[in-house]
A = this chain, B = another copy of it.
Amino acid sequence: MSFRKVLVASVAAGLMLAAAGASAAPIFGFTPEHADRQQALEAKFDQALSGEEMKGWLETLSSEPNHVGSPHDKANAELMLAKFKSWGWDARIETFDILYPTPIAEKLELLGPHPFTAALHETPVEGDRTSVQADRALPPYVAYQGDGDVTADIVYVNYGMPEDYKALEHLGISVKGKIVLARYGAGWRGLKPQLAEEHGAVGCLIFSDPADDGYATDDVWPKGGQRPPQGVQRGSVEKMMIYAGDPLTPGVGATKDAKRLTRETATTILHIPALPISYADAQPFLAAMGGPLAPRNFRGALPITYRTGGVGAASAHLLVKSDWSLKPIYDVIAVMKGKEFPDQWVIRGNHHDGWVFGATDPLSGNVVLMEEAKAIGALARTGWRPKRTLVYASWDAEEPGLIGSTEWAEAHAAELQKKAVAYVNSDSNERGFLGAEGSHSLQSLVNQVARDVTDPETGATVATRRRARAQVEGSRPGAREEAKAEAEIAAKGGEMPLAPLGSGSDYSAFIQHLGIASINLGYGGEGEMGGVYHSLYDSYDHYLRYGDPDFRYEVALAQTAGRVMLRLADADVPPMRLAPVSGAVSRYLKEVKQLVEKARTDDARFVALSQSNAFALSDDPTHPTHPPAAETPVEPLDFSAMDAAAERLARATTAFDTAYAAAVGHLSRAQAAALEPVMSGLEQALTAPEGLPGRPWFHHMVYAPGMLTGYGAKTLPGIREAIESRRWAEAQAYIAVVARTLDGYSSRLEQTTTTLAAK
């Protein structure tokens, strides 16, 4: 067939497939009769699931603090090991030795006329049974800050994001030599001390403002579910967007004898001391501040006038000192060998370490993973075996830096890149709506699974409920363009697009470092869980009231993730549809081009405003401000390589999807065996060996956590971030790199299509 004819034919086939996907009958990747068998299997799987059982495990696992290095962290790993074995899995614990600082000394004082010493402590509260163990927890801290003992004036930097520093410059406020006070929100926690350090600050405090996370959002724990005045959000501030995992062993597993960097040469550790504090501790500092009135978007919900400080400011003394010794971590790995393709691995993971008790984060997800493993064990006892190998992993040390998963992925990199079909992650799970992010090759699979799981609260399918929400959200006045587009797709009953993966849970090493197709699944959006995130109060009692009180969404997640695993394991051909990949790439390409256009418009506006002296003339001379500095003007960018690559990709995915639909169930055993590693390796063709600018650990050219978002994903990151930071030469260079990568992917696809068609 000629090119053109292929295109037309396969577009039609693609539409048919999409239409078929919306009906109830087949399962993607299975012949009709195999689909019947699969549905029967899934029904049996569902029958083995028990909310009560998960509830019991959750209570046990969250009964004591289980941070990295704690006795209960190790005990939980050993408990799981025994369980996996008892369910018939081939299980083991893999241990790594990682740099994990734990606080030895912390002090924070307000100096001056109204001295105040911060409590830095979360107190036990009535109705939260484990909170009496407060003293067995580590004190609130952020991992991988810099340690230090500093005394300086304080500057309030709002969320501490780049635009906040611009706003402060506008007011003539510098943080050089100061301690910054930032509130949680708007960007990942670790960016706050990092940007503070880059701007010359000597220390960083991060507090939870009640506007975002406290009484303004609802009644506080234990009256309600929200963050109480003394509650503190712990967390990691490791620069995971440079590389994830142990700071001392980038790219390799932190095994006993691994070659290690020193703390000083590790590039993911900060240099200035930092502490997270409660809003009760923050208020006296904020109230004491002088300086200009804080801009409107800096204002939180404390009953004070928010000022920036920096001029006639309050002064503070901050001390943080940590134990920087190596600590052991325990990954629990359970394997059930595939009967047809034992060297094709479908991997499922959730972490088990928490900041304190971690009932929601991560144990609500971890007990689901256990329940799936138990149910799969029960299926296996009936004689069934997966076609492909299943690997269930409960990671340690996710909280400090996705370390358990990353070290394991790095230690087994070569084998994983050869064998891994996909990685399926979960973490916290609550009542609500299905959230799904990940590789677009798995979008159709996820959508079909969502069609086959019933929402516990409404009795509709979770797909229908997710569509309903998208429709309502997208119809709100002022909804963002993205939400409107999703609402339109939802209204037409189309496939809901997967959000891209950034960072923040254990999929990072799999997708972004190794190029293994990954998805992250979880329910949420109805509870009031934010209020205890990473605090002493993320407890079993809180989860029972606000997480998923009757464990029905725990069962729903097991049904969802379990189906994804079972279908990936048993499909005739690994269930990947690739039109969503080219669709996503085209959308992202359009977006980055719009960024350039926007930068051009901004430039023109800035020049006009400067030339007419409008900044100075519109200023209040009693509160003078500094006009914004001129930015590097937009340089011409040539997108033709990307345009061509995106077009070729669109043709290649359409051809593949058509060939795939025709081939399922019609391949010889030898053909299928030959195809398996090709299919599982497809996502790796979206990686480039040189990685992203300044962070070679990140190989994926379509998804990455943003350098200035931390968790939030940036798509086509090499191009997009260069444009956003106005590094035009780098943008042009990555247009070439990404286009080359996409061409490689298309080429691989074209070959695979030929293989599929040769039935």
Docked Cα-Cα span, A457 to B620, in Å, equals 8
Say yes or no: A471-B218 contact (C-beta < 8 A), given A303-B301, A305-B224, A617-B460.
Answer: no
**Which residue from chain B places its CB closest to the CB of A223 in the assembled complex?**
B305
**Which residue from chain B places its CB closest to the CB of A456 in the assembled complex?**
B621
Which A197-247 residues have a C-beta within 8 angstroms of B? Answer: 210, 215-220, 224, 226
> Which of chain B's residues have a CB closer than 8 A to the CB of A622?
431, 526
A594 adjacent to chain B (CB < 8 Å):
no
Say yes or no: A468-B301 contact (C-beta < 8 A), given A293-B218, A609-B475, A612-B491.
Answer: no
> Which of chain B's residues have a CB closer than 8 A to the CB of A301?
299, 301, 303
Query: Which of B215, B305, B458, B468 is the one whose CB lies under 8 Å from A215?
Result: B305
A613 adjacent to chain B (CB < 8 Å):
yes
Interface 1/0 per residue, A526-538 and B, CB below 8 Å? 1000000000000
A379 adjacent to chain B (CB < 8 Å):
no
Query: Which of B216, B218, B614, B620 is the one whose CB lies under 8 Å from A468?
Result: B614
A616 adjacent to chain B (CB < 8 Å):
yes
Query: Which of B305, B460, B464, B491 is the one whose CB lies under 8 Å from A608?
Result: B491
A75 adjacent to chain B (CB < 8 Å):
no
Say yes or no: A605-B303 contact (C-beta < 8 A), given A458-B617, A460-B617, A468-B618.
Answer: no
Q: Contact: A469 with B304, CB < 8 Å?
A: no
A178 adjacent to chain B (CB < 8 Å):
no
> Which of chain B's residues have a CB closer than 8 A to the CB of A219?
305
> Which of chain B's residues have a CB closer than 8 A to the CB of A469?
614, 617-618
A324 adjacent to chain B (CB < 8 Å):
no
Docked Cα-Cα span, A456 to B612, in Å, equals 19
* Min C-beta distance of A36 to chain B, whole Å: 29
> Which of chain B's residues have a CB closer than 8 A to the CB of A116?
none
A465 adjacent to chain B (CB < 8 Å):
yes
Q: Contact: A614 with B304, CB < 8 Å?
A: no
Q: Contact: B609 with A471, CB < 8 Å?
A: yes
> Which of chain B's residues have a CB closer than 8 A to the CB of A612?
467-468, 471, 491
Docked Cα-Cα span, A218 to B224, in Å, equals 31
**Which residue from chain B places its CB closest to the CB of A469 in the assembled complex?**
B618
Q: Contact: A305 with B218, CB < 8 Å?
A: yes
A302 adjacent to chain B (CB < 8 Å):
yes
* Min C-beta distance of A545 to chain B, whole Å: 11
Classify the interface of chain A: helix, strand, loop or mixed: loop
Q: Contact: A472 with B609, CB < 8 Å?
A: yes
> Which of chain B's residues have a CB closer than 8 A to the CB of A384?
none
> Which of chain B's residues have a CB closer than 8 A to the CB of A491?
608, 612
* Min C-beta distance of A662 to chain B, whole Å: 34
Docked Cα-Cα span, A491 to B467, in Å, equals 45
Q: Contact: A299 with B216, CB < 8 Å?
A: yes
> Which of chain B's residues have a CB closer than 8 A to the CB of A218?
293, 305
> Which of chain B's residues have a CB closer than 8 A to the CB of A224?
305
**Which residue from chain B places its CB closest to the CB of A302 in the assembled complex?**
B303
Which A458-499 residues have a C-beta within 8 angstroms of B? Answer: 458, 460, 464-465, 467-469, 471-473, 475, 491
Say yes or no: A605-B468 contact (C-beta < 8 A), given A301-B303, A526-B622.
Answer: no
* Min C-beta distance of A553 to chain B, whole Å: 12
Q: Contact: A457 with B615, CB < 8 Å?
A: no
> Which of chain B's residues have a CB closer than 8 A to the CB of A464?
617
> Which of chain B's residues have a CB closer than 8 A to the CB of A613?
468
> Which of chain B's residues have a CB closer than 8 A to the CB of A608?
471, 491
Docked Cα-Cα span, A618 to B467, in Å, equals 8
Q: Contact: B616 with A458, CB < 8 Å?
A: yes
- Copies of this chain, whole number: 2
Say yes or no: A303-B616 contact (C-beta < 8 A), given A475-B605, A609-B472, A609-B475.
Answer: no
Q: Contact: B304 with A468, CB < 8 Å?
A: no
Docked Cα-Cα span, A211 to B431, in Å, equals 33
Docked Cα-Cα span, A472 to B605, in Å, equals 9
**Which residue from chain B places its CB closest to the CB of A224 in the assembled complex?**
B305
Interface centre among A215, A458, A617, A621 (most CB of B within 10 A): A617
Q: Contact: A465 with B617, CB < 8 Å?
A: yes
Interface 1/0 per residue, A48-63 and B, CB below 8 Å? 0000000000000000
Docked Cα-Cα span, A641 to B144, in Å, equals 72
Interface 1/0 per residue, A614-654 and B, CB below 8 Å? 11111011100000000000000000000000000000000
**Which residue from chain B places its CB closest to the CB of A472 in the assembled complex?**
B618
* Min C-beta distance of A330 to chain B, whole Å: 37
**Which residue from chain B places its CB closest to the CB of A617 in the assembled complex?**
B468
> Which of chain B's residues have a CB closer than 8 A to the CB of A216?
299, 305-306
Which A288-310 residues have a C-beta within 8 angstroms of B? Answer: 293, 299, 301-306
Docked Cα-Cα span, A491 to B614, in Å, equals 9
> Which of chain B's residues have a CB closer than 8 A to the CB of A618?
433, 465, 468-469, 471-473
Q: Contact: B614 with A303, CB < 8 Å?
A: no
Interface centre among A224, A469, A475 (most CB of B within 10 A): A475
Docked Cα-Cα span, A613 to B491, in Å, equals 11
Interface 1/0 per residue, A302-328 and B, CB below 8 Å? 111110000000000000000000000
Which A422-439 residues have a C-beta within 8 angstroms of B? Answer: 431-433
Query: Which of B471, B526, B617, B621 is the one whose CB lies under 8 Å from A620?
Result: B526
Docked Cα-Cα span, A128 to B135, in Å, equals 52
Q: Contact: A614 with B472, CB < 8 Å?
A: yes
**Which residue from chain B places its CB closest to the CB of A306 in the assembled complex?**
B216
**Which residue from chain B places its CB closest to the CB of A546 in the assembled complex?**
B622
Docked Cα-Cα span, A621 to B459, in Å, equals 12
Q: Contact: A215 with B303, CB < 8 Å?
A: yes
* Min C-beta distance of A731 to chain B, whole Å: 22
Docked Cα-Cα span, A473 to B609, in Å, equals 11
Docked Cα-Cα span, A458 to B299, in Å, equals 30
* Min C-beta distance of A734 to chain B, whole Å: 26
Interface 1/0 per residue, A65-98 and B, CB below 8 Å? 0000000000000000000000000000000000
* Min C-beta distance of A557 to chain B, whole Å: 18
Docked Cα-Cα span, A526 to B457, in Å, equals 53
> Which of chain B's residues have a CB closer than 8 A to the CB of A475?
605, 609
**Which residue from chain B places its CB closest to the CB of A458 in the assembled complex?**
B617
Q: Contact: A621 with B471, CB < 8 Å?
A: no
**Which residue from chain B places its CB closest to the CB of A218 in the assembled complex?**
B293
* Min C-beta distance of A300 to chain B, whole Å: 9
A sample of 13 inter-chain contacts (CB < 8 A) reads A215-B303, A215-B305, A218-B305, A224-B305, A431-B620, A458-B621, A460-B617, A467-B612, A468-B616, A469-B618, A475-B605, A491-B608, A491-B612
Query: A residues bordering B, Cβ < 8 Å?
Result: 210, 215-220, 224, 226, 293, 299, 301-306, 431-433, 457-458, 460, 464-465, 467-469, 471-473, 475, 491, 526, 605, 608-609, 612-618, 620-622
The 10 closest A-B pairs by CB, nearest first: A468-B617, A468-B614, A469-B618, A303-B303, A471-B614, A526-B620, A472-B618, A468-B618, A457-B621, A475-B605
